[in-house]
Amino acid sequence: MLIFDAHLDLSLNAMTYNRDLRQSVRRIRQEESGESHLAGWGCNTVAFPEMRKANIGICVATQLAGCMKPAAAGGGWNSPEQARAMTQGQLTWYRAMETCGELRQIRSLAELESHLQRWQTDASQTPIGYVLSLEGADSLRTLDDLYESYEDGLRAIGPAHYGEGRYAMGHDKDGPLSKPCRELLKEMDRLGVILDATHLCERTFDEALEAFHGTVWASHHNCRALVDDPRQLSDRQIKTLAERNAVIGIAFDIWMGVPGWQRLVSNHSNYVDANLMALTNHVDHICQLLGNTDHIGIGTDLDGGFGIEQTPSDLDTIADLPVFLDRLRQKGYGEDDLRKISHGNFLRVLRSAWH
């Protein structure tokens, strides 16, 4: 079954972790010996061969370089000029992967439908499709950068990440929608850029969705009702997103999947339930809350600053994503529902945004 992964930090891995994603996960792990300050070093899960094994024919791939205070992974630049330079280096890497036939950028409805047809006909000879997204808007020095990035194929933006951003507060902070962010949202709306509501603090979430009239999704989120943390979506937010016809991508960072997991402290030997079945509970919660399977998808965030030390215990690489669909089958989800969750819902949102 085709899988649409709505959140992969591919260029972060290539440019910050110095990973050649054309190699296998095993090869990359072997090369990452010794100590490193980078979380998940030697424990990666994502590479192009394993994405193909999972039948990930399309993904949302990020540019990530923020100026947040305090700094988060990939987001500790001291000026927007530095952050912008990093995102441009990441864009250059994406272009290089297009040149060597690994990736294909998707920017329009015609390109989307053409890619899906090619993947269905011969996936082995078709580049993996990617929609370019910006996680945290700090690198946009002015709106001129937005216009330039749109011409470069940028089609989704999450204004915030962690901490205090230049445009918006991250989920771990509190504050209103800023004037610069209102101006950014207005231009995103005009251009048809998708708003990724992920990482917005609750107050900004509400005000952003009120101010923005275009297409919305939440690329990588789980449920606060099951794991109580501001990073998660409350039931009220889930219903608000559904009212906007949005889709929520289930994240595979296991601290977001099971209550009580402490990052850098807990491990799988003392937390036996930290597995893929735990993530199906978040799918089930959203579907039961909304009464349908129309607003849930997959946004793994795998290798988003962590590795197998913090993934579900029964996931070794991203090639194991079909096991997640098997777990949903075990819970009684039918094939039509699985098609929606694995790819159909996010494709519906893209088609709506690009009609």
- Which position has the token pair 């789980």? 222
Give the pLDDT of residue 73.
63
> Which tokens sit at 335?
């094939």
User: 145 near 139, Cβ under 8 Å?
Assistant: yes
> Stretch 2-25: mean pLDDT, rounded?
97
The yes-or-no verdict on residue 284 having pLDDT over 70 is yes
Give the pLDDT of residue 43.
96
Q: For the chain, give me the number of helices (H) and strands (E)?
A: 13, 9
> Which tokens sit at 276?
């893929």
Give the pLDDT of residue 33.
83
The yes-or-no verdict on residue 112 having pLDDT over 70 is yes
List the one residue out of 252, 248, 249, 274 whose CA is nearest residue 261: 274
Exposure class string for 11-20: b at 16+ Cβ within 10 A, else e:
bbbbbbbebe
The domain segmentation of the chain, as residue ranges, is 3-8+49-353
Give the pLDDT of residue 255.
96
Give the pLDDT of residue 314.
96
| DSSP class of 171 | T
Give the pLDDT of residue 72.
65
Give the HSE-up count for residue 95: Cα atoms under 13 Å, Cβ half-sphere: 9
Distance CA 337, CA 328 (A): 9
> Stretch 300-312: mean pLDDT, rounded?
96
> Stretch 110-115: mean pLDDT, rounded?
98
Distance CA 170, CA 167 (A): 10
The yes-or-no verdict on residue 107 having pLDDT over 70 is yes
> Stretch 284-292: mean pLDDT, rounded?
98
The yes-or-no verdict on residue 127 having pLDDT over 90 is yes
pLDDT tens, position by position, 182-224? 999 999 999 999 999 999 999 999 999 999 999 999 999 999 9
The yes-or-no verdict on residue 231 having pLDDT over 90 is yes
- Percent of the chain with pLDDT strictly greater than 90: 90
Instruction: List beta partners, residue 132.
Output: 61, 154
Report, at the CATH architecture level, how domain 3-8+49-353 is classified: Alpha-Beta Barrel (3.20)
> Stretch 157-185: mean pLDDT, rounded?
92
Distance CA 323, CA 206 (A): 35
Instruction: Between 344 and 170, name the one with better pLDDT.
Output: 344
Indicate the pairing of strand 154-158 with strand 128-135.
parallel
Give the pLDDT of residue 270.
85
Which residues touch 14 (CB under 8 Å, ≥6 apart)? 20, 21, 90, 93
- Percent of the chain with pLDDT strictly greater than 70: 99
pLDDT tens, position by position, 15-70? 999 999 999 999 999 999 888 889 999 999 999 999 999 999 999 999 999 888 76
The yes-or-no verdict on residue 263 having pLDDT over 90 is no
Distance CA 89, CA 298 (A): 27
User: 248 near 238, Cβ under 8 Å?
Assistant: yes
Instruction: List beta partners, residue 269.
Output: none
List the one residue out of 315, 334, 330 whose CA is nearest residue 257: 315
The yes-or-no verdict on residue 75 having pLDDT over 80 is no
The yes-or-no verdict on residue 173 having pLDDT over 80 is yes
